Amino acid sequence: MSLPYEFVIGWRYTRAGRASQRNGFISFISAVSMLGIGLGVAALIIVLSVMNGFQKEVRDRMLGVLAHVEVLSATGEALGDPAATMALVREHPRVQAVAPFVAEQGLLARGQDMKGAVVRGIDPALEPAVTALGADLAAQALGALQPGRFGIVLGAALARSLGVTTGDAVTLVVPSGQLTPAGVVPRLRQMTVVGLFDSGHYEYDATLALVHLQDAQRLFRVEGPTGVRVRLDDLHAAREVAIELAARLQPVLGSGVVVRDWTRANRTWFAAVQVEKRMMFIILTLIVAVAAFNLVSTLVMTVTDKRADIAILRTLGASPRSVMAIFVVQGAAVGVVGTALGLALGLGVALHIDTLVPALERLLGVHFLPQDIYLISRMPSDPQAADIVPIVVISLALAFVATLYPSWRASRLNPAEALRYE
């Protein structure tokens, strides 16, 4: 089956460049436009893939410490019926594990150093099933958390700031004071550091301390757990499951229960990342737009150079629509080839960035992500179809739109005027 002549001629004009010096210059401009589109598409894919990789890496480190869903007492006091709450939560088909906890603010003191901390009381037997951090500590530090011994597990950064290590003693100052004839006196308790953890997320390593659930209840004078931590079979379903759990728990336990998923616990950070992704998408799309609209100048020059050819085609019976189609094919071909090259280059770099970046670091003698400054020391990448498909569609659409005006001008060319001086 033969191709329409508009496609054949349009593709020939795209490849033209050997017949004359002027044709060669036009072909060079066309190649530059194609290269610009390709580099713009590749830059978009690589940048968004790296941003997705960073987001996924930080999210996974957050979820190593956080639960997918938390059921909390609205007043901050103990849950009215922890056993019933956990039983109701376990009935949800997407729930894999639950564990009770107590979370309160406190001060940790060692000599003259004093640091604020989030003190979390956990059940060492149930916590490993809920968080990755609990699973990592199950065989070591959590086993040393025995009720009544007042052991404490500190984040590595928090321990460094206090100058303590395993076996040292720290003083925990709880916010609720004790009333005495001399006034309100802060309640103090000496705790023994029984382990350290490094979650890879500085915010938690510098502020989180773990104690046994029963010790936390005694220290903060609560009658039971203040919340329940929940692990799901799919972290992306957390918001949906949280809404369903709230609808299931509140009719039974009343309005004193609040259900919160992990996305709401870190709403500000995730919102900032999404805004940054949108802005980078818009900025880098302008690169593709500039390259695509270079096609306008390319096609205008081609139309000027091919005036005689257009006139001959018109006198042979070609319709204005067919002439327009020829130049649309030429511009679209540049857009399609440029987009395909950019897609191949972008995916090639994004999928092998863990190999390419270390090689570039060795070549230049630099380290792009020093571990003592950034959360991670390697460049992550996570190409997603939800980003790549819009990039390809926008690139092709811009290239097509850029061809319309020059193609329309070519279709309006008067054959008699074009052949007058030939």
The pLDDT assigned to 343 comes to 93
The pLDDT assigned to 416 comes to 64
The pLDDT assigned to 113 comes to 83
The pLDDT assigned to 18 comes to 44
Q: What is the C-alpha separation between 99 and 212, in angstroms, rounded?
A: 12
The pLDDT assigned to 347 comes to 92
The pLDDT assigned to 19 comes to 44
Q: What is the C-alpha separation between 302 and 409, in angstroms, rounded?
A: 11
The pLDDT assigned to 340 comes to 92
Q: What is the C-alpha separation between 82 and 404, in angstroms, rounded?
A: 68
Residue 325 corresponds to which amino acid?
Answer: A
The pLDDT assigned to 170 comes to 92
Which residues in the chain land under pLDDT 70? 1-3, 5-6, 13-27, 139, 177-186, 254-255, 305, 369-377, 414-422
State the CB neighbour count (10 A cutoff) for residue 373.
8
Tokens 């060319």 sit on residue: 413
Q: What is the C-alpha separation between 5 and 3, in angstroms, rounded?
A: 6
3-state SS string for the chain: CCCCHHHHHHHHHHHCCCCCHHHHHHHHHHHHHHHHHHHHHHHHHHHHHHHHHHHHHHHHHHHCCCCCEEEEECCCCCCCCHHHHHHHHHCCCCEEEEEEEEEEEEEEEECCEEEEEEEEEECCCCHHHCCHHHHHHCCCCHHHCCCCCCEEEEEHHHHHHHCCCCCCEEEEEEEEEEEECCEEEEEEEEEEEEEEECCCCHHHHCCEEEEEHHHHHHHHCCCCCCEEEEEECCHHHHHHHHHHHHHHHHHHHCCCEEEEEHHHHCHHHHHHHHHHHHHHHHHHHHHHHHHHHHHHHHHHHHHHHCHHHHHHHHHCCCCHHHHHHHHHHHHHHHHHHHHHHHHHHHHHHHHCHHHHHHHHHHHHCCCCCCCCCCCCCCCCCCCCHHHHHHHHHHHHHHHHHHHHHHHHHHHCCCHHHHHCCC
The pLDDT assigned to 133 comes to 81
pLDDT digits (tens, 9 = 90+) for 265-319: 777 877 887 888 888 888 888 888 887 777 777 777 777 767 777 777 777 777 7
CA atoms within 13 A on the CB side of 363: 6
pLDDT digits (tens, 9 = 90+) for 14-64: 665 444 445 555 667 777 888 888 888 998 899 889 888 888 887 888 878
Question: What token pair was written down for 243?
Answer: 């809404």
